[in-house]
Amino acid sequence: MKDNDFLKNIGKRIRSLRKTHRLSQETLAELSDLHPTYIGKIERATINASIISFQKIAKAFNMALSELLNIPSAKNEQKDLSLEKIYAVLKTQKVDVLKHIEKIVNEFIDFSSSQNKK
């Protein structure tokens, strides 16, 4: 992968995560202690941001740097985007709600698996 392709992909990933978390560039900049125009330049891949900047952005998203830099392949991009959206919603829920959701998901998967066997 070319350097510029990597920068474009990480910029797209940060923009996607920001939108999934319903954050403006200004809010992400505030949470990551970076300037809003710097966030915009990262998202547009017009600068080569430092690893420290990526670490600050990852912290703002409450994720590990390795997770932020994990660029999905084109074939997995849609699946990963859906999982990120689900995760962003679930992170805001209380434990008792998560336990109910877990039960429902397991029941759905069991039902779906039994239907596929027919």
pLDDT tens sequence across 93-115: 999 999 999 999 999 998 888 88
Residues 12 and 41 in one domain: yes
CA distances from 65 to 27, 51, 58, 59, 71 (A): 19, 9, 5, 8, 12
Counting the structural domains of the chain, the total is 2
CATH of the domain at 47: 1.10.260.40
Residues 26 and 53 grouped into a single domain: yes
The per-residue pLDDT for range 1-56, each reduced to its tens digit, is 576 888 999 999 999 999 988 999 999 999 999 999 999 999 999 999 999 999 99
Same domain for 7 and 21:
yes
pTM metric for this prediction: 0.65
- Residue 61 burial (CB < 10 Å; 0-12/13-18/19+)? buried
Residues 62 and 17 in one domain: yes
Q: List the domain range (segments joined by +) for residue 54.
A: 1-71
Number of H helices, E strands in the chain: 7, 0
